[in-house]
Amino acid sequence: MTRVYLADANPGELSALRLLLLELKMEVVGEGADWATTLAQVPDRSIDLLLIDWNLLPNSPTNSFKKLREACPAALIIILISHLDARHQAALSAGADAFISKEEMPERIAERLRAAAAGLFSG
């Protein structure tokens, strides 16, 4: 079972993502509504996938991803982006493995999460 940590400041989006992950038979092992909580909690969990809202990252995304990689070296980091613009490229350039737009249909988000989880366990 894929173990996922969610980090999003928007309670509604956090709840929707949690439900979607449960439908996908993924286990939510933790949630954070801010960067400090997220960074404090992730080292204590065995995490396969980190879903992080871009807006939670501090001013230095590259340093933020470095800290996440140190805490969870094997975890796949997927950034959640509200608007597709230069942020998706910035997320990838800073060290994210992938990004998902929050504006996508739930089915498309589910498809991308399934693909990410399949990649975790096939390689």
pLDDT for the residue numbered 87:
56
Domain membership of residue 50 as a residue range? 3-122
- CATH code at position 102: 3.40.50.2300
2-36 pLDDT tens trace: 999 999 988 998 999 999 999 999 999 999 999 88
Q: Of 18 and 94, which is predicted with more confidence?
A: 18
Q: What is the pTM of this model?
A: 0.77
Give me the number of domains the chain comprises. Answer: 1
CB 8 within 8 Å of CB 33: yes
37-71 pLDDT tens trace: 998 888 777 899 999 888 888 877 778 888 888 88
pLDDT for the residue numbered 59:
78
